Structure 1
Amino acid sequence: MFFKQFYDQKLSQTSYMIACQKTKEAIIIDPKRVLDEYAQVAESEGFTITLATETHIHADFASGLRDTGRRFNAKIMVSDEGDENWKYSNMPEGTEYLKDGDKIKIGSVELEVVHTPGHTPESVSFVLTDRGAGSEEPMGMFTGDFLFVCDIGRPDLLEEAAGMEGATEEGADAMFDSLKKLHAYPGFMQIWPGHGAGSACGKSLGAVPLSTLGYERKNNWVFKYEDKEAFIQELTSDQPEPPSYFSQMKRINRDGLSEFKLKEVEVGSPDVISGQIFDLRNKEDFRKGFRKGSINVPYSSKFLQFAGWYIDYDAPMTVIANPGDGKTLQEDLASIGFDNLQLIVPIEDADRYYDDTYENLSPELLVQNHENKIILDVRSTSEYKSGHLDNSYHIHFGHLDEKDLPFSKDDTIYVHCQSGVRSAIALSVLKARGYENAVNVEKGYIGIKKAIN
């Protein structure tokens, strides 16, 4: 048997390739939309990708399931569990629909389907047994967004991202019952989750790539609850805010998306730039001069996590960036379902469009008479609850472009996050909305606490 784990750090997302080394057949589980890595591994190992499946309809990234069928002529297999309110649609001809107890054969490798609802109603896990090695015992389980290392999948995304009222409580109730199914499996069975630390699909995911069921029974908080109501209360509290693009992902992964193909993106500095504008320079360069209305999201490992809050899926995109990043930018944006990158303005030409700046303020100056200042805390709810200035307003940075703000546009607003990264993004959003006197607090709440003490 061949086993390969693929980890996309930008999305904290994990996918897998399993193959029978005798028959050279391979399956991809939870494929991402850009398929080149899978093709390279299959070619180097001499495998043919014949099957593709996924554990559920994803909310946090654009699935590559349908593209796997198109590119490799692989058979697609998806869950047919759950109710009629949330089902796969527009699937290709020949798709096989899976129920609890069904088995997938990849040569002499067997995957048994286990319905594990909670994160979503249709969620399934796959228990792997290597029959070719003569084993009757399961080696491991692909748990998707059911069980993570030291955490469990959140049950509220259908309600938060897809607007299905009441889905949170129903999901949490189902999750408690799904956990009970794990009693039937041995502690040595490995757990291969769909996400790692940094994913918004849970609240405290571990950073290691895999675990065992025995280890999770000892260390994962979810196994410490025998009372269902107490479990539901804990599971549904303090979940991180889901990025705005999650609602888009739920829809396109249910209904389908066109095949991803790289294209030639225009590079240049026209007199007029339009559409949504993202400036990918670092925050220090951006604040000294920028085009008002552009959103500053530096091109780093967290680009997708931040940009996903603000992308308009119905509008073309211009980026101020390094043209050499054009290929990876297309791939990154495609991984959250956006294929309308139209123009790259080279960084060295950014000054053609400057019509605004913003100021930074040290935390030492902020805390002087801070009780009389208008302070905006743009951190997450859990960060805010863990400690904040008493007179601060709290609005998550990702909601600043959509919520009514409790300030006048003439007010001086002092904006901070935890360390200074998100507040810089927030400044560009506030400036775009006409809050001309917004000021960024350097070093964030970390610096503020030190200054006060």
Structure 2
Amino acid sequence: MYFKSFFNGPLAQMSYMVGCQKTGEAIIIDPLRDLTPYIETAESENLEIKYVTETHIHADFASGLREAVNRLGAKAYVSGLGGEDWQYKAVDAERLAEGDVIKVGNVKLEVIHTPGHTPESISFLLTDNQSDIPMGLFTGDFIFVGDVGRPDLLETAAGVKDSTEIGAKQMYQSIKKIADLPDYIQIWPGHGAGSACGKSLGAVPVTTLGYERVNSWAFQYDDEESFIQALTSEQPEPPYYFKEMKRINRDGVNPYSADSVMPVAELTASVVLDLRQKEVFAENGSMGINVPYNKKFLSFAGWYLNYEEPLQLIGDFEMVQQAADELKLIGFDKVTGYLPGNKVNGPSYDQIEPADFKEKDKETINILDVRTQKEWDDSHFEGAKHLHFGKLTTEEIPFNQDDKIYVHCQSGVRSAIAMSILENLGYEQAVNIKGGYDAVK
């Protein structure tokens, strides 16, 4: 048997290839839209990708399932469970049910219905025919290292009313359902630390069921109501693009292309992302939203994308091309051009040192906290107003345009994004608190 995992850092996403070296067949599980890593691996191992499957309809990245069918001629297997609303469309695939088996040469994958994260979620129990003992479980967004999948995305991201509690109950039952599986079963999750599909994912790429039973918070509850309360609390806010991903992955994504080169163009799009580092933007602003190109680029940029409208970028050539390619991984293909950063000649914005801010009378000034809800709940400045940085373009800002506002996040990165938005919205008296809440405290 051949086994390989693939980790994508910007998405904190895991995908897998399993092959039978005797027959030369391989299957890819939860593939990204860019099939290049899987094709290169298959060729180097003298395998042919004959099958493709995934654990559920993903919310955080564009699936490569249809790409594998259309480009490689692979046979697709998808969940046929979970109800009519969340069935795959526009794909020729075999629909899977509880107990079904996918055979890849002398390797088999047995389907276990494990709803909770989504109604259609399935896991695959892997057994090599050289042994009657199963080796491990591809869990997707069911079991992570140190966590389990969040049940609220259908409600918070896709607008399916009252689905959070239903999903939490299903997650509790799914955990109980695998109680008879032995402790040595390896767990191959769909995500690692940095993903918004859970609240406390570990950075270790693989674990065992026995280890999780002892160490994961999710396995410590015998009471369903207590489990539901723990699972549904303190989940991070999902970026707005998650809603689009659920729809795109259910209904079908356009063919993938990595060959396009972004041309230099005048900035005319309704949304522009400025990829320069926050220190550069602070001294030389632009009409764009300052989302620096780094390992968190997709999670931040995903708040501001309009999938029906073109997008333009500001940055150097290499940075822009890489950012445009990464955006394709979340199904966004409408980057139409860019402006080099050295062509931008805009104003700076005001900043204040943490020590100087500490001297301010907090009862007489306006403070805008743009951190997450959990960060706000843990601790905040008295008298401050809270609005998540990703919601500044869609929700009402709790101050007037002519107010002087002191803006902060935890460490200064997200407040820089917020400053660029506020400046573009006409809040000319906004002041960024350098270093954020941590530096002040």
Q: Is the 8 A contact 2:262 2:320 kept in 1?
A: no
Percent of matched pairs sharing the same residue: 53
Q: Is the 8 A contact 1:110 1:130 kept in 2?
A: yes
Q: Is the 8 A contact 2:144 2:191 kept in 1?
A: yes
Give the alignment partner of residue 110 of structure 1, picking from 92, 108, 111. 108
Count of paired positions: 440
3-state SS of the aligned residue for 1:163? coil
Deviation at 1:275, TM superposition (A): 3.3
Deviation at 1:263, TM superposition (A): 4.2
CA distance in 1, matches of 2:223, 2:260: 57
CA distance in 1, matches of 2:319, 2:232: 39
Give the alignment partner of residue 142 of structure 1, picking from 138, 145, 150. 138
Deviation at 1:269, TM superposition (A): 4.9
3-state SS of the aligned residue for 1:382? helix
Q: Is the 8 A contact 2:15 2:190 kept in 1?
A: yes
1:422 pairs with 2:418: no
CA distance in 1, matches of 2:78, 2:264: 43
1:256 pairs with 2:252: yes
CA distance in 2, matches of 1:274, 1:201: 31
Deviations 1:90-118 (A, max 9, x none): 213xx111001000001101100000000
Equivalence for 2:268:
273
Equivalence for 2:119:
121
Deviations 1:300-335 (A, max 9, x none): 111101100111111111111121234422320111
Please tell me the residue identity of whatever aligns with 1:280. L
Give the alignment partner of residue 365 of structure 1, picking from 356, 359, 366. 356
Please tell me the residue identity of whatever aligns with 1:330. A
Please tell me the residue identity of whatever aligns with 2:26. A
Deviation at 1:287, TM superposition (A): 1.4
Give the alignment partner of residue 167 of structure 2, picking from 142, 154, 171. 171
Deviation at 1:211, TM superposition (A): 0.3
Please tell me the residue identity of whatever aligns with 1:367. K
Equivalence for 2:73:
73
3-state SS of the aligned residue for 2:298? helix
TM-score, length-scaled by structure 1: 0.95
Give the alignment partner of residue 277 of structure 2, picking from 263, 276, 282. 282
Equivalence for 2:292:
298
CA distance in 2, matches of 1:142, 1:378: 37
Q: Is the 8 A contact 1:265 1:344 kept in 2?
A: no
Deviations 1:227-260 (A, max 9, x none): 1011111111111100110000010000001101
Q: Which runs of 5+ in 1 are unaligned?
A: none
Deviations 1:278-306 (A, max 9, x none): 110011111112223x1001111111011
Map 1:51-66; keep pairs closer than 5 Å: 51-66=51-66
Q: Is the 8 A contact 1:148 1:193 kept in 2?
A: yes
Equivalence for 1:212:
208
1:405 pairs with 2:405: no
Give the alignment partner of residue 369 of structure 2, picking from 361, 377, 381. 377
Quick one: structure 1 residues 318 and 384, their matched pair in 2 at CA, closer, same or farther if it must change by over 3 Å? same
Deviation at 1:266, TM superposition (A): 4.3
3-state SS of the aligned residue for 1:143? strand
Deviations 1:321-350 (A, max 9, x none): 121234422320111110011112122222
3-state SS of the aligned residue for 2:363? helix
Please tell me the residue identity of whatever aligns with 2:195. S
Q: Is the 8 A contact 1:288 1:357 kept in 2?
A: yes
Please tell me the residue identity of whatever aligns with 1:314. E
Deviations 1:370-426 (A, max 9, x none): 221101111111111111111111111111111111111000111111100010001
Deviations 1:79-136 (A, max 9, x none): 00111122111213xx1110010000011011000000000000000000011xx211
Give the alignment partner of residue 234 of structure 1, picking from 230, 235, 238. 230
Please tell me the residue identity of whatever aligns with 1:303. F
Map 1:298-337; keep pairs closer than 5 Å: 298-337=292-331
CA distance in 2, matches of 1:66, 1:274: 30
CA distance in 2, matches of 1:413, 1:279: 23
Deviations 1:30-68 (A, max 9, x none): 001111111111111111000000000000111111011
Equivalence for 1:23:
23
Equivalence for 1:196:
192
Deviation at 1:145, TM superposition (A): 0.3
CA distance in 1, matches of 2:350, 2:259: 38
Quick one: structure 1 residues 266 and 187, their matched pair in 2 at CA, closer, same or farther if it must change by over 3 Å? closer
TM-score, length-scaled by structure 2: 0.98
Please tell me the residue identity of whatever aligns with 1:16. Y
CA distance in 1, matches of 2:42, 2:12: 23
Q: Is the 8 A contact 2:137 2:186 kept in 1?
A: yes
